[in-house]
Structure 1
């Protein structure tokens, strides 16, 4: 039986994130708060130093006549200044409106207009140009502030200078603004990346974020001496909820939003934990496995044997079974020869990873655990302020997303839908009363749209997305996510694998391969094709993928098997609009864009 979590924290929730920051500084003023790059060097600031910088920006915003709940757009990559700006908006009483830096100019303008933003904080001249290209559509926008030099915008340094002047004349200006904020005040507008139509602005209150941070702290596995590596896009709720937990717990966060630098940064920062989307773990798994396969011979045999021993060792340990001297000896040997090298790829100090934003394949999670790297899963929506469920290292169950956060409620509807209630639930969609009403049941529970099951201990297993379930023309139900995840665990070269077949006689799949992995495979196997499109069209790569699909089909029920498949001539990407910035596939958009290819797999 899983341990009960103390919910007494609910009696002393701070009224706002600004007060949470104030409490954190009072508890650990001299501990490291943030670490970030300045040029080529990593520098750090303590909690008291970070709070002083936040106060300057907050005071600067007040000097520019920011009012309570005024919307302030932040259009920038993940960096220290993003966090500085966000906390300053919170302390001054405003409401951050997040915009991904990859968002097209027209969509960014729609978000700013729908939110009614009076202020926009942009990263640089490129993001400024994006906003200015639709300036005429933004009548509420009064002030644009730039983090980096951008002619035509007020600089963030100038805002801080104005803030220092205000604080010199009125030292309590920011404290008064913070004290005026209540738990029900709007804190953040996050616009969801819809697959069709315009994105919806999710209204999240101060209470949502305060509760999330304290609830994650109450789970007991986060420590003040942890070091978190943050690369997640801060425009997404997953990244912001880790910062809410940081205010509650007090750990240090190292920040660099460049996805291509994740592995390099891990080696330097040596974090104790990191949040990531499943794609990051899938890619790391594929890289490690394919590298060993390419080496072949004795090294590959040792590698495979090591993971078989690691899996058996962890299985017995989890089951409380006796671990004999022979198994323990072999595990220590392989830990030194193999597993320690795998852990070193991630800095060598990781206590756990947190996977969120999409389901993680259980086999991949168990594979990492065999090497001494624990990946716990969380589950939630933007509408639940990211976190609604979270596993814990001390009672983790692979294949589940843990239990509901303490102080919240879950129920499973007759059709299997997961429905939620608690302090983390959004107040509604911005300017969309009908959509808000539709998001809730008549008795006030949030409809997630996801299907799941709860075990006797309250652990949730996600079984699929209601709207994505496939019902073949023969009446059989297929959960495409389960089939897709199984393939990703089998094939180390895959990037995306999408299964279709609703109201069709059988299932088909669209496949994309990881460009770097398949290029390396082609070079090692004498395939002379140049470029991704030519490589995936080659007979050798087609045969390679066919072999993995045969393995997949051998594990599936007959009605789930993939009868036909096509490798696309380009990988899905955020830039193409087929992936959200949090790396989730826009399935409907891909299906619409590839309808001819999908139809061809049913022809004849």
Structure 2
């Protein structure tokens, strides 16, 4: 059984809680701009002192409303400044934040509010309020006493409500929590079954951020460091960056509308960003398709090949002169424009949530953006492993963070132990005992490898391994990741459990398809072209490329192009854009059966 540990590099606090960062910032650097808010008049800075005062005012309002120590307060909103403000205000009041994805249905909201026994909800606007009202009418939410709306001036309302709460009362509440106390209940979006509440303590965050900010000092501790959050703050990935930015006084902005993201990036000019692999795939595919539509497809493809080759050469510590010259040429023609799309100042990106893949990792490093791929789960307060600026191996998710150990089980499952591993599932001892063994090892459910240097590679999900009729074990993620890298492919599902060969269902990317259709003189409706020879040939090319990554027995032999899409709204994707395999398999049972007829 292979095991690798990274020794702890810092002293992790044994007292205090997450609110200390806000207090320290106001006292030590009160005039420093730690946030920038998007307003009708542009981006406006918020100093550490101003944020501290706003958090205290809202926290007093929560206390005045009857929110007690340890009470759960739900947050249902898009990514915005007020999300962060309320998160810290809830902690100042000694309470526990329960994030809810803003896209959640009334039924999902009802389950989380009921299961967590939430005392109050802070919702964003009318649509969210309506869903909370529906959940209230159809479920047993006896504990829910308050519902506030950000768009109905919840900040000001609570500020006035708490005007009579003394500083002494607030300070007593703020300092009640220790590292052992619950900070948040994050409900896993879940690819199967009802979401489970992951209990993350103040200590989990303090351990995680203590080592992560130290290890990623080139991101957090450089002069002028800034980041723009656009992923949902209900996801632990964005949440940990939020807390890390506050801890390190890294200026942070929020972008709620993905349609305005390019403009927001251009105005905010972050020095680093975080995103899930699907975002990086989309950026690449969109750029490729636009170049093709403008008659520059060949130049873009060559530029991409050079970027990848240049990045690979860096691992060998020597870049050939000819490749260096080609890279310099394409830097002026292509790479600079791509970096400009990220604001022009972005040097690093953190990728998590799913494997990025070697090709994209090398491409982005080749254009001048170091993508630091990491790995973690909600249950581990985000990162367990991460590639570092000075210790990067593209294609892996990095080495364990200091104080973290990894073990590969006999069945290939990755097990981890460290101070960031959660306290268990809320009111669910059976699930907790299944995930955490007696020695404190967390069973991730992911299958992977650890090389001699400690770099971890994810190869698939334990429960998603496909076993063909011939007894061949196939990890679908390897094929699916490669397929999604093609400009025309949006999502795909590899199937074949108990079948004689591997097949795939493919959906077409609605962003890149119109340009392809126009270029080829085709209908702009995907449903009209499901058996079109040119579209089939394009997808076959993607399949052929994916098959290069596996053996013949694991290769995709047949595929079907579907007319529709798999989306979060449709219930086929989680909020972090992971495929809900059980849902898709159930909905596409007929198409899957048709693959194997005859």
Per the alignment, do residues 328 and 543 of structure 1 end up closer, same or farther by CA in structure 2, a change over 3 Å counting? closer
**Is the partner of 2:326 in helix, strand or coil?**
helix
In the alignment, the residues of structure 2 paired with residue 25 and residue 334 of structure 1 have an alpha-carbon distance, to the nearest angstrom, of 46
Q: In the alignment, which residue of structure 2 is the partner of 1:339?
A: 335
Q: In the alignment, which residue of structure 2 is the partner of 1:62?
A: 63
Per the alignment, do residues 461 and 547 of structure 1 end up closer, same or farther by CA in structure 2, a change over 3 Å counting? closer
Contact 1:7–1:218 (CA under 8 A) maintained in structure 2: no
Kindly report which structure 2 residues correspond to 1:498-537, keeping only aligned pairs within 5 A, or say none: 498-527=493-522, 529-536=523-530
Q: What displacement does 1:221 show?
A: 2.8
Residue by residue over 1:479-508, the C-alpha shift from the partner in whole angstroms, topping out at 9 and shown as x without a partner, is: 11011112233x211111211111211011
Contact 1:145–1:156 (CA under 8 A) maintained in structure 2: no
Q: What displacement does 1:443 show?
A: 2.3
In the alignment, the residues of structure 1 paired with residue 146 and residue 157 of structure 2 have an alpha-carbon distance, to the nearest angstrom, of 13
2:311 is the counterpart of 1:310: no
Query: Which of the numbers 552, 557, 566 marks the counterpart of 1:558?
Result: 552
Q: What displacement does 1:530 show?
A: 4.0
In the alignment, the residues of structure 1 paired with residue 324 and residue 177 of structure 2 have an alpha-carbon distance, to the nearest angstrom, of 56
Contact 1:13–1:214 (CA under 8 A) maintained in structure 2: no
Query: Which of the numbers 440, 443, 446 marks the counterpart of 2:442?
Result: 446
2:367 is the counterpart of 1:367: no
Query: Which of the numbers 135, 139, 143 marks the counterpart of 1:140?
Result: 143
Q: What displacement does 1:554 show?
A: 4.9
- TM (norm. structure 1) is 0.93
In the alignment, the residues of structure 2 paired with residue 446 and residue 380 of structure 1 have an alpha-carbon distance, to the nearest angstrom, of 11
Q: For structure 2, which runs of at least 5 residues remain unmatched after alignment?
A: none
Contact 1:145–1:155 (CA under 8 A) maintained in structure 2: yes
In the alignment, the residues of structure 1 paired with residue 185 and residue 177 of structure 2 have an alpha-carbon distance, to the nearest angstrom, of 16
Contact 2:356–2:481 (CA under 8 A) maintained in structure 1: yes
Give aligned pairs, total: 589
Q: For structure 1, which runs of at least 5 residues remain unmatched after alignment?
A: none
Contact 1:519–1:532 (CA under 8 A) maintained in structure 2: no
Per the alignment, do residues 519 and 20 of structure 1 end up closer, same or farther by CA in structure 2, a change over 3 Å counting? same
In the alignment, the residues of structure 2 paired with residue 128 and residue 205 of structure 1 have an alpha-carbon distance, to the nearest angstrom, of 29
Q: In the alignment, which residue of structure 2 is the partner of 1:281?
A: 280
Query: Which of the numbers 213, 218, 225 marks the counterpart of 2:214?
Result: 218
In the alignment, the residues of structure 2 paired with residue 352 and residue 477 of structure 1 have an alpha-carbon distance, to the nearest angstrom, of 36
Q: In the alignment, which residue of structure 1 is the partner of 2:252?
A: 253
Contact 2:9–2:403 (CA under 8 A) maintained in structure 1: no
Q: What displacement does 1:342 show?
A: 1.7
Kindly report which structure 2 residues correspond to 1:185-200, keeping only aligned pairs within 5 A, or say none: 185-200=181-196
In the alignment, the residues of structure 1 paired with residue 542 and residue 8 of structure 2 have an alpha-carbon distance, to the nearest angstrom, of 47
Per the alignment, do residues 124 and 233 of structure 1 end up closer, same or farther by CA in structure 2, a change over 3 Å counting? same
Kindly report which structure 2 residues correspond to 1:386-465, keeping only aligned pairs within 5 A, or say none: 386-465=382-461
In the alignment, the residues of structure 1 paired with residue 588 and residue 256 of structure 2 have an alpha-carbon distance, to the nearest angstrom, of 31
Computed over aligned residues only, the root mean square deviation of the Cα atoms, in angstroms, reads 1.9
In the alignment, the residues of structure 2 paired with residue 318 and residue 412 of structure 1 have an alpha-carbon distance, to the nearest angstrom, of 26
2:576 is the counterpart of 1:588: no
Residue by residue over 1:546-601, the C-alpha shift from the partner in whole angstroms, topping out at 9 and shown as x without a partner, is: 23323433554211121111112111111001111111111111111111110111
**Is the partner of 1:376 in helix, strand or coil?**
strand
Q: What displacement does 1:207 show?
A: 0.7
Per the alignment, do residues 6 and 468 of structure 1 end up closer, same or farther by CA in structure 2, a change over 3 Å counting? closer
Residue by residue over 1:446-496, the C-alpha shift from the partner in whole angstroms, topping out at 9 and shown as x without a partner, is: 11001111112211111111111111111112111011112233x211111
Per the alignment, do residues 40 and 476 of structure 1 end up closer, same or farther by CA in structure 2, a change over 3 Å counting? farther
Q: In the alignment, which residue of structure 2 is the partner of 1:601?
A: 595
In the alignment, the residues of structure 2 paired with residue 322 and residue 105 of structure 1 have an alpha-carbon distance, to the nearest angstrom, of 55
**Is the partner of 2:576 in helix, strand or coil?**
coil
Kindly report which structure 2 residues correspond to 1:53-132, keeping only aligned pairs within 5 A, or say none: 53-132=54-133
Q: In the alignment, which residue of structure 1 is the partner of 2:37?
A: 36
2:484 is the counterpart of 1:493: no
Per the alignment, do residues 594 and 300 of structure 1 end up closer, same or farther by CA in structure 2, a change over 3 Å counting? closer
Q: In the alignment, which residue of structure 1 is the partner of 2:540?
A: 546
Contact 1:522–1:535 (CA under 8 A) maintained in structure 2: no
Q: What displacement does 1:435 show?
A: 1.0
Per the alignment, do residues 375 and 399 of structure 1 end up closer, same or farther by CA in structure 2, a change over 3 Å counting? same
In the alignment, the residues of structure 2 paired with residue 58 and residue 404 of structure 1 have an alpha-carbon distance, to the nearest angstrom, of 36
Q: In the alignment, which residue of structure 2 is the partner of 1:481?
A: 477
In the alignment, the residues of structure 1 paired with residue 30 and residue 452 of structure 2 have an alpha-carbon distance, to the nearest angstrom, of 43
Per the alignment, do residues 426 and 5 of structure 1 end up closer, same or farther by CA in structure 2, a change over 3 Å counting? closer
In the alignment, the residues of structure 2 paired with residue 11 and residue 235 of structure 1 have an alpha-carbon distance, to the nearest angstrom, of 25
2:567 is the counterpart of 1:578: no
Q: What displacement does 1:174 show?
A: 2.2
Contact 2:289–2:297 (CA under 8 A) maintained in structure 1: no
Per the alignment, do residues 359 and 159 of structure 1 end up closer, same or farther by CA in structure 2, a change over 3 Å counting? same
Q: In the alignment, which residue of structure 2 is the partner of 1:290?
A: 289
Per the alignment, do residues 462 and 515 of structure 1 end up closer, same or farther by CA in structure 2, a change over 3 Å counting? same
Kindly report which structure 2 residues correspond to 1:199-210, keeping only aligned pairs within 5 A, or say none: 199-210=195-206
Q: What displacement does 1:13 show?
A: 5.4
In the alignment, the residues of structure 2 paired with residue 585 and residue 180 of structure 1 have an alpha-carbon distance, to the nearest angstrom, of 40
2:238 is the counterpart of 1:239: yes
Residue by residue over 1:147-194, the C-alpha shift from the partner in whole angstroms, topping out at 9 and shown as x without a partner, is: 012xxxx8331101223442xxx2233222111111111110111122
